[in-house]
Structure 1
């Protein structure tokens, strides 16, 4: 797979939103025959000890409800590095107001490459609504990538 066909999803802890976006994107891209793959990372400077297990139960339950077995469900959160940006043709952060300051501080040289969505974390928006917004955004992204490849 060529790096230009990889999407990097970013959120604070790489535990809930970005992990769900990664899994739902990869599932839909496979189903649609789209030659793209996604991966996800945390933009925080350190991982949160409050996150229990490899992936949020909210993300896991939503994926299971859709009949999706998460390909990366056993992997623990991973901090983002500059190399992750180098491995991606497209970079999406899940919440502008929350993630832009962290990205600009930690990755100033590549911050201009990031596209921002507006999906709040669990303490501000219930999981069903937040994950539904990610479903919509991923659907739009896949549609856009399909248009590009025609």
Structure 2
């Protein structure tokens, strides 16, 4: 099974929505996971409740178990077939600080966090990005 790794800051909102949406779309041979670069102790609960609401509004049931946010590690990056950080401006510097050499080996989307981008627009961008990724990976053939 090949893995898409979605990365954001807290692994509470953007990367979790991308992960859950991707997995709900069931791309054969692919599975998504997500991690955070700088987890926050101020989050309430394991996931932002609006993520689950948005998922249901898109017609996908929420998962039966919701895990807590998980911090990104280098083994996570090595295991990923494709790694995507949700906002280049925010996440490229964090990647450079925490995982030198990896900042140019991952993809970046342009989905800033609240309050820099309203959640409705962030969800729309994530949905568009996941749809494009699903189309790409459905045609994907590994090198070699």
Aligned residue runs from structure 1 range 1-150, under 5 A: 1=1, 5-28=2-25, 30=26, 33-44=27-38, 47-71=39-63, 74-149=66-141
Task: State the Cα RMSD in Å.
Answer: 1.6
Rounded to whole Å, the distance in 2 between the matches of 1:70 and 1:38 is 15
How many residue pairs were aligned?
Answer: 142
Runs of 4+ in 1 over 6 A off after TM superposition: none
- Say if 1:69 and 1:13 are closer, same or farther in 2 by CA, change over 3 A: same
Give the C-alpha shift of residue 24 in structure 1.
0.5
The structure in which a higher percent of residues are helix is 1
The unaligned stretches of length 5 or more in structure 1 are none
Give deviations 1:16-36, integer Å, cap 9, x for gaps.
Answer: 0000000001111x1xx5211
Q: Displacement of 1:71 after TM fit?
A: 3.0
TM-score by structure 1 length?
0.88
Query: Residues 23 and 72 of structure 1 are in contact (CA less than 8 Å); yes or no, is this contact kept in structure 2?
Result: no
Residue segments in structure 2 that go unaligned for 5+ positions in a row:
none
User: Cα deviations across residues 37-74 of structure 1 (Å, max 9, x unaligned)?
Assistant: 01000012xx2122110111221110121232233751
